[in-house]
Amino acid sequence: MDIDDGDFEAGGSRITWPGETITSSQAYMRGHGTYVENEEVIASVAGTIERVNKLITVRAIRTKYNPEVGDLVVARITEVQPRRWKVDANSRQDAVLMLSSVNLPGGVQRRKLESDELQMRNFFEEGDLLVAEVQAFFSDGAMSLHTRSLKYGKLRNGQLVTIPPILVRRLKSHFITLPCGVDLILGLNGYIWVSKHVKEHEQVGEEGFDAEAVYSNRNDLIDESTRIAISRVSNIIQVLASHFVPLTDTLLLEAYEWTVENDTDAKGLLSEDVGTALVATITARG
Amino acid sequence: MGSRVEILNDGGFRSDGRRQYELRDITIDLSPQGVADGSAILTHGLTQVLVSVFGPREAKMRSQTMHDRANINVEVAMAAFSTGERRKRSRGDKRILEMAATIKSTFEPVVQTSLYPRSQIDIFVQVLQQDGGLLQACINATTLALANAGIPLLDFVCAVTGGVHSTSPMLDLTLLEENDIPHVTVAVMPKTDKVTLVTMETRLHVERFEEIFRLAGQAGKVIHGEIKRAIRERTERLVTSMGSSTRVHGGEDDAMNEY
């Protein structure tokens, strides 16, 4: 089964599976998700074939998160080690957050001292959730994160939703505010943080911002309507993910409006026919 | 013959009405089970197996970490209600440990573990119903679950049990047949015709072996067709449902380029 150039141009969504010959290795180069045997490029995962000039890659439809430098991720601390935290970021191995790549409370700029090393657990403890950016990779492929921005740091006032990473698209901004009083952080690793909206003037770096609260473990008071909105948004994300619909802010907004129009509560969303109706409506719109 | 069940009667039929080379019904369910990265429920006739795959993920045990490739960890559990007589097997049961080791060694040359240094791939096999051909069902279900989890495989591994009744070979044995006649399980990679596993627990005449071995290899291709179809259908479904919403929001791609 040989492929002409034309086959790749047609939308590029040709499907393949492990052990399937894609093309000859003399005319093309093998990329991710393929291997070469007997001068043939053969797929090793199930997914869609993509071609860039002479490079053939297969993009797996369901797989672990593949980090790239600059990606925004939501992650959870698994271990505190000397000068570093081990962080679960839904990748093939735990990420590393160095003590030198976090901000000190109060935003003081200085070298990290031994005293900082001793109070690492005051910054992040096992089980804490945080939002960070992929900074670099180690030689074994493990990623190194950093939280050296006022936008990044410990997460509170909300709940975590996990979806397949392929469903999170790269957007201009991964911090989304929905009009229903809910903030969203779409981690590219498939972890999504749904939380109470922080008012503009109370945001980090502004006047009303409490610098010491960056590493706080205590939730703010969340009123009932916000709690309902948060669980509604979380359930919408779960329903969309179960129907394998990629997330975008417009889609989420439409879905939220649909649930309000149809007077569906958060719990009702999870029933199968309501979920199917929701997905059918919002994917048909446009 | 009275009440005694014939393995193969004069008309060429087996106790469950199949012909000599006929395989049992295969059903495959690839829908996600719980939080597993990939899972599959496979039935061969009345034998039913659920496999969940987690990973590649951070190796939980430091001693098992390998710096140049991923470690494959297989755990098999048999439901107490899966056999005729209700019996609970502990996880340390010799037979279960041996089966786990067999599955592990079958997949080690097939999974591209060198792509995931210092990681671990967990394969949890849960046997729900047993009616012969247990190892074959476990291997086929594991192939499906691994492919479903997006773990790179050189090829699908397809396993079939073959046996011989006096001089006539048979395929895909039920428990009744397995108890009575010598049998062998063969796992093949159909693309290259490589064999990754041949295992026997009974004595088989050496002159009969070649014939059964060859037949099982051919039957592996039939199973391969089923596995391939299931994976293709699921991938197609997921790609379409992802595509249906990107078409609506066509502007997304432009935003991506700017980013």
Q: Which of residues 175-234 of A touch B (CB under 8 A)?
A: none
Q: Quick one: average pLDDT of B198-209?
A: 89
pLDDT tens by residue, B43-66: 999 999 999 999 899 988 878 888
The CATH fold assigned to B26-239 is Ribosomal Protein S5; domain 2 (3.30.230)
Which pLDDT does position A16 carry in this prediction? 94
Q: Which of residues 131-160 of A touch B (CB under 8 A)?
A: 140-142
What CA–CA distance (Å, rounded) separates A65 from B58? 13
What CA–CA distance (Å, rounded) separates B167 from A259? 67
Give chain B's mean pLDDT.
Answer: 88
pLDDT tens by residue, B60-105: 887 888 888 999 999 999 999 998 888 887 777 899 999 999 999 9
Nearest CA in chain A to B153: A44
Pick from A88, A93, A246: CB nearest B246: A246
Closest-CA distance, A278 to chain B, in angstroms, reads 13
Which pLDDT does position A198 carry in this prediction? 83
Which residues face B26 on adjacent strands?
B44
Residue corresponding to tokens 């180690």: A138
Domains annotated on chain A, with CATH: 5-60 (2.40.50.100)
What CA–CA distance (Å, rounded) separates B39 from B50? 7
Look at B235 and A171 and tell me if their CB atoms are within 8 Å: no
Look at A62 and B255 and tell me if their CB atoms are within 8 Å: no
Which pLDDT does position B249 carry in this prediction? 41
- Residue B219's SS3 state is helix
Pick from A13, A33, A141: CB nearest B117: A141
Closest C-alpha among A40, A30, A171, A143 to residue A85? A143
CB B148 within 8 Å of CB B231 = yes
Query: CA torsion angle for A144, A129, A122, A69 (degrees, to 10)?
Result: 20
Interface confidence: ipTM more than 0.90 = no
What CA–CA distance (Å, rounded) separates B257 from B259? 5
Quickly list DSSP for A157-200.
SEEEEE--GGGB---S-SEEEETTTEEEEE-TTSEEEEEEPPPG
Look at A286 and B249 and tell me if their CB atoms are within 8 Å: yes
Residue corresponding to tokens 């792509």: B115
pTM, full prediction: 0.90
Which pLDDT does position B252 carry in this prediction? 38
Q: Quick one: average pLDDT of B208-217?
A: 92
> Cβ neighbours of residue B121 under 8 Å, at least 6 residues apart?
B53, B54, B55, B56, B57, B70, B71, B72, B73, B111, B113, B146, B151
Which pLDDT does position A266 carry in this prediction? 83
What the block records as the tokens of A23 is 């093309």
User: What is the side-by-side order of every strand in the sheet holding B183-189?
Assistant: B168-171, B158-165, B183-189, B194-200
Q: Is the peptide bond before A165 cis (omega within 30 degrees of 0)?
A: no
What CA–CA distance (Å, rounded) separates B66 from B57? 13
Q: Both ends of chain B: CA-CA distance in Å? A: 78
Closest-CA distance, B214 to chain A, in angstroms, reads 21
Q: A-chain residues within 8 Å CB-CB of B220? A: none
Closest-CA distance, A37 to chain B, in angstroms, reads 10
pLDDT tens by residue, B128-138: 999 999 999 99
Pick from A19, A33, A251: CB nearest B156: A19
- Residue A73's SS3 state is strand
Binning chain B into helix, strand and coil, the percentages to the nearest 5 are: 35, 30, 35
Q: How many CB pairs under 8 A join A and B?
A: 133
Q: B-chain residues within 8 Å CB-CB of A44? A: 112, 152-154
Domain chopping of chain B, boundaries: 26-239
Segments of chain A scoring below 70 in pLDDT: 1-12, 200-212, 286
What CA–CA distance (Å, rounded) separates B106 from A81? 37
Which pLDDT does position B224 carry in this prediction? 96
Pick from A19, A78, A283: CB nearest B155: A19
